Structure 1
Amino acid sequence: MSTSYENAAELAEALRRAAAAHGEHEKQLGHEDADWPSWYAEYMVEEKRN
């Protein structure tokens, strides 16, 4: 599957949404997520799919 964004602004907004969601994810974990890049990638692909 390929995921793309129309422009830098759209990508930046997707990153902001992922960052906010990841903050909630870390609260639930109770610690920092060292593998945050993978988490962001999965979140952003899934968000784009829906």
Structure 2
Amino acid sequence: MATTYESVEDLAAALRRAAEAHGRHEALTGEEDANWPDWYALYMARERAGEELPT
């Protein structure tokens, strides 16, 4: 799944949204997610594609 961002600011905003969503994910699971980079990547790619986001 290819994903592009228009600017550094656009990418930074996507990272912030992923970080916020991942915080909710960890709160739901009750544990720290050591694979957070994979989760962020999936979230950001799906968000950009308009697909269902991970929880």
Does TM-score exceed 0.5, indicating one fold? yes
TM-score of the two chains, using structure 2 as the length reference:
0.88
* AA aligned opposite 2:12: A
Match of 1:31, SS? coil
* AA aligned opposite 1:26: E
Matched, 1:48 2:45: no
Q: How many residues align?
A: 50
Deviation, structure 1 residue 49: 0.4
TM-score of the two chains, using structure 1 as the length reference:
0.97
* AA aligned opposite 1:17: R
What CA deviation, in whole Å up to 9, does each residue of 1:1-50 have, x standing for no partner? 21010110000000000000000000011011000000000000000001
Structure 1 gap ranges (5+): none
Distance in structure 1 (CA, Å) of the matches to 2:8 and 2:15: 10
2:21 alignment partner in structure 1: 21
| Aligned structure 1 segments of 4 or more residues deviating by more than 6 angstroms | none
Distance in structure 1 (CA, Å) of the matches to 2:48 and 2:25: 19
Distance in structure 1 (CA, Å) of the matches to 2:15 and 2:34: 17
1:11 alignment partner in structure 2: 11
